[in-house]
Amino acid sequence: MRIGWIGTGLMGEPMVARLVAAGHQVSVHNRTRARAEPSLALGAGWAGSIAAAARDRDVVITMLPFPADVEAAYLGPDGILANASPGTVAVDMSTSSPALARRLADFTGGSVLDAPVSGGPAGARSGALSIFVGGAADAFERVRPVFEVLGSTVVHHGPAGAGQAAKLVNQALVANLTLGICEAYAVAEAAGLDPALVHESVRVGVAGSPLLDFAWSRLSDGDLEPGFKVAHLAKDLALALDEVGDTRRLPGTSLVRELCQAVADTLGGDRGTQALITQTQPTVPSEGQR
Amino acid sequence: MRIGWIGTGLMGEPMVARLVAAGHQVSVHNRTRARAEPSLALGAGWAGSIAAAARDRDVVITMLPFPADVEAAYLGPDGILANASPGTVAVDMSTSSPALARRLADFTGGSVLDAPVSGGPAGARSGALSIFVGGAADAFERVRPVFEVLGSTVVHHGPAGAGQAAKLVNQALVANLTLGICEAYAVAEAAGLDPALVHESVRVGVAGSPLLDFAWSRLSDGDLEPGFKVAHLAKDLALALDEVGDTRRLPGTSLVRELCQAVADTLGGDRGTQALITQTQPTVPSEGQR
C-alpha cells in the first residue's frame, strides 16, 4: 500500500522500518528531518510537509507526542484532512484524547481511525505491539493488513474514541505498575538486598511482567534513558483523568501523574518513567525543620 | 521428614496437601480445628497445641496471619522454641517483620529461617510458589527438600530477615499493581468499554501479569472474595514502610495501605485486594458541599 507516515520518534521509527521491510511504499514526514534519516536510509521516501505526506496515499498514519500535535496535523489548510485524497483512511496511532478522536472521525464521516499501541520500542521492532482500534468497521478492515505488520494483537474496541479509551486503561495500569516497580526497588536498596536475587524471586510471582524485567534492569544499571518518557506518561494520565471526569476517583493514577510532573520539572520530561525512582528519595529537611 | 505445621489457612492448607502427597509425615495445628479438617482428611495428623506440633520434628513450619501471631507461636513456655527438640529447624513462612525474624534467629543460634512465599493459593496448590529465604545457610540446606515440594523458585537472599525483606519488596510491587488493575478497570467501565476486549488488548502489553488475569476476572464477575485479603496486604505494607523508615519515601505504597485500611473499615479485612475497586467510586458529597 501507499502509506504516508507522520512522526518518526522512538516508536514511529521502528514501525516505519517494519512497513518498509514488508514491501509497503512509505513516505515519511517529521518536524525535525534529522530524526527521519534512519527511516530514509531503509528506503522510505521523504515528504517535505504534512500535506505532501497525506496526498495520494491509501493510508496516512500519525504517531505524534501530544494531542495538540495531532490536532495540528489533521486540521487547517495544510493538514491531513484538507489534503488527503477521497478514499484515504487516516489513522492516529498516537496516544491522544478520545474526544479528539471522535471529533476527527465525525468530520470525515468515519475515515479517521484511532489506533494507539502498547509494547514500547522493543514491541515496535519485533511487530509484537498491542493495537487498540476505535472507529468505523469498514475503515478498520481496509487498514487491517497494515496493523498486522505492526502488531500481534489487534483489537477493535468500538466506535471512534474507543481505541484511545482502551489505551488509557492500559496507561493507568502501566503507571501504577511503574511506580510499584520503583518503590519495590527502593525497598530492596533500603534493606541492603542484592537486586539481581530479588528480581529472580519477584519476576516469577504474580506481579511478574515484561515491564518489571525492563525497568528493573534499567534501575540496576542506574539508567534513566527512556523506553517511555515521563512527559508522555504524565500526558496519558491527564487524558485518563479527563476521560473519567467526576464519575470515578483514581487516586493512584493521580499520584503517578503528579510524580511524573515532579520528575519532568526537576530532571526533564524526556527521562524514562523509571526515573520515578528519584521520587523515593527522602526530602531534604529545610533549615526550619532541623 | 517429620514436619510440624502451624496455621492451615488459605495458604497453609494447600501447602500441607503437597507435603502429605510427597510422603512427608505432617502434624498440623490450627487455632480453629475446623479449618484443619481438610488437611486431616488428606492424612495429616492433629497436634492439639503449638508445643505438640513442635515436639520431635525435623522441621516446624509456621504460616500465620500477623507478626503478633508469629511472635506468640515461637515465644513463651508453650511456644515452638521452648518445645522443639535440639536439631529441629523452625521456618516462618508467614509474611512478617524482618526485625522479628532476626530476633528469632538470634535467640536460637540460627535454627530459625524466614521463608515467606508469593504465588497465592493457586501457586500453593501447584507447587509453583516463589520462596524468599533468609537465615543460616546450613539450616537452609537441611530444609531445601521441603521448599522444593512447595515452590518452583527458591532463593536464599541472605542472613535472617533477608527473606522477609525480599518478600516486602514483592508486596510493594503487588500493592501498586493491584491498585493499578482496579483503576484501569474503573477507566474501562467509565468509558463504556467491553472489559473482556480490553483485557485481551492489555494482557499482552508490557503490564501483562498473572495478577492482572486473576484480578480482572474477579472484577468482571463482581467477586470480592479473597485470593489475598486486604487486611493482610495492609499489614505487609505497614511492614514495608517500617523497613525503609525515613530512608525512603514510598508514596504509592502508603496510598495503597490507606486504601486497604478504608476497605477493611467499610467492607471487612477479609475481602480480596481487588475490593480496592470500591475506592474508585466518587465520594458522595456531604450536605454542606452540595
pLDDT digits (tens, 9 = 90+) for A88-142: 999 999 999 999 999 999 988 889 999 999 988 899 999 999 999 999 999 999 9
Q: Is A167 a catalytic residue?
A: yes
Mean pLDDT for chain A overall: 95
The answer to whether the Cβ–Cβ distance between A201 and B248 falls below 8 Å is no
Smallest Cα–Cα separation from B176: which of B92, B67, B252?
B252
- Choosing from A55, A167, A229, A235, the catalytic residue is A167
Residues of A in contact with B160 (CB under 8 A): none
The answer to whether the Cβ–Cβ distance between A172 and B184 falls below 8 Å is yes
Q: Which of B130, B164, B169, B181 to mutate to test the interface with A (most CBs of A within 10 A)?
A: B169
Using the predicted structure, report yes or no on whether residue A287 has a pLDDT greater than 70: no
Sequential DSSP letters for chain B: -EEEEE--STTHHHHHHHHHHTT-EEEEE-SSGGGGHHHHHTTPEE-SSHHHHHTT-SEEEE--SSHHHHHHHHSSTTSHHHHSPTTPEEEE-S---HHHHHHHHHHTTS-EEE--EESHHHHHHHT-EEEEEES-HHHHHHHHHHHHHHEEEEEEEESTTHHHHHHHHHHHHHHHHHHHHHHHHHHHHHTT--HHHHHHHHHTSTT--HHHHHHHHHHHTT----SSBHHHHHHHHHHHHHHHTTS---HHHHHHHHHHHHHHHHH-TTSBGGGGGGGGSPPPPPGGG-
Q: Which of A102, A133, A169, A246 to mutate to test the interface with B (most CBs of B within 10 A)?
A: A169
Residue B26 near residue B54 (C-beta atoms within 8 A):
no
Those residues with Cβ within 8 angstroms of residue B145's Cβ, 6 or more apart along the chain or in another chain: B1
Cα(B109)–Cα(B112) distance, integer angstroms: 8
Active site residues of B: 167
> Which chain B residues in 200-219 lie under 8 Å from chain A, judged by CB atoms?
200-202, 204-212, 214
Residues of B in contact with A173 (CB under 8 A): 180-181, 183-184, 202, 207, 212
- CB-closest option in B183, B191, B211 to A98: B191
Using the predicted structure, report yes or no on whether residue A290 has a pLDDT greater than 90: no
Interface A-B, measured as beta-carbon pairs within 8 A, has a size of 270
Q: Which of A33-47, A83-97, A273-287, B276-290 has the lowest mean pLDDT?
A: B276-290
* Distances in whole angstroms, Cα of residue A23 to Cα of each of A1, A17, A20, A44: 8, 10, 5, 10
* Model pTM score: 0.93
pLDDT in tens, A150-167: 999 999 999 999 999 999
- Which residue's entry shows cell 504516508? A4
Residues of A in contact with B233 (CB under 8 A): none
B186–A contact, CB cutoff 8 A: yes
Residue A85 near residue A55 (C-beta atoms within 8 A):
yes
Helices (H), A117-161: 120-126, 137-150
Q: Which three cell numbers stand for residue A58?
A: 491509501
pLDDT in tens, A184-204: 999 999 999 999 999 999 999
For chain A, what is the radius of gyration of the CA atoms?
A: 20
- A156 three-class SS: strand
Residue B97 near residue B69 (C-beta atoms within 8 A):
no
Q: Which three cell numbers stand for residue A48?
A: 517535505
For chain B, what is the radius of gyration of the CA atoms?
A: 20
Mean pLDDT, chain B cut into blocks of 10 residues (290 residues total): 97 98 98 97 98 97 96 95 95 97 92 95 94 98 98 98 98 98 98 98 94 97 95 97 97 98 98 98 61
Q: Residue range A244-269: average pLDDT?
A: 98
The answer to whether the Cβ–Cβ distance between B244 and A187 falls below 8 Å is yes
The answer to whether the Cβ–Cβ distance between B207 and A211 falls below 8 Å is yes
Residues of A in contact with B280 (CB under 8 A): 248-250
**Domains defined for chain A, CATH in brackets:** 2-158 (3.40.50.720), 166-280 (1.10.1040.10)
Share of chain A above pLDDT 90, in %: 93
The answer to whether the Cβ–Cβ distance between A248 and B282 falls below 8 Å is yes
Torsion over CA: A138, A143, A148, A152 (sign): negative
A81, containing H or E segment = helix A80-83
A137–B contact, CB cutoff 8 A: no
Give bridge partners of residue A153 from the DSSP assignment.
Answer: A130
Give the phi and the psi of residue A88 in degrees, each rounded to 5: -70, 135
Q: Measured in whole angstroms, how far is the alpha carbon of residue A183 from the centre of its chain? A: 23
Residues of A in contact with B181 (CB under 8 A): 173
Provide the 8-state DSSP code for A229. Answer: B
Nearest CA in chain B to A182: B173
Nearest CA in chain A to B117: A205
The answer to whether the Cβ–Cβ distance between A204 and B130 falls below 8 Å is yes
Helices A210-220 and A195-202 cross at an angle (nearest 10°) of: 180
The answer to whether the Cβ–Cβ distance between B187 and A202 falls below 8 Å is no
pLDDT of residue B283: 78
Cα(B149)–Cα(B169) distance, integer angstroms: 24
Cα(A79)–Cα(A54) distance, integer angstroms: 8
The answer to whether the Cβ–Cβ distance between A200 and B155 falls below 8 Å is yes
pLDDT of residue A87: 92
The answer to whether the Cβ–Cβ distance between B152 and A204 falls below 8 Å is yes
- A140 three-class SS: helix
Chain A nearest CA to B68, separation (Å): 22
* Distances in whole angstroms, Cα of residue B51 to Cα of each of B47, B48, B85, B96: 8, 8, 11, 21
Q: Residue range A11-22: average pLDDT?
A: 98
The answer to whether the Cβ–Cβ distance between A209 and B204 falls below 8 Å is no
Those residues with Cβ within 8 angstroms of residue B150's Cβ, 6 or more apart along the chain or in another chain: B15, B18, B19, B117, B124, B127, B129, B131
Q: Residue range A239-267: average pLDDT?
A: 98
Residues of A in contact with B243 (CB under 8 A): 187, 190-191
A196–B contact, CB cutoff 8 A: no
Chain A nearest CA to B18, separation (Å): 19
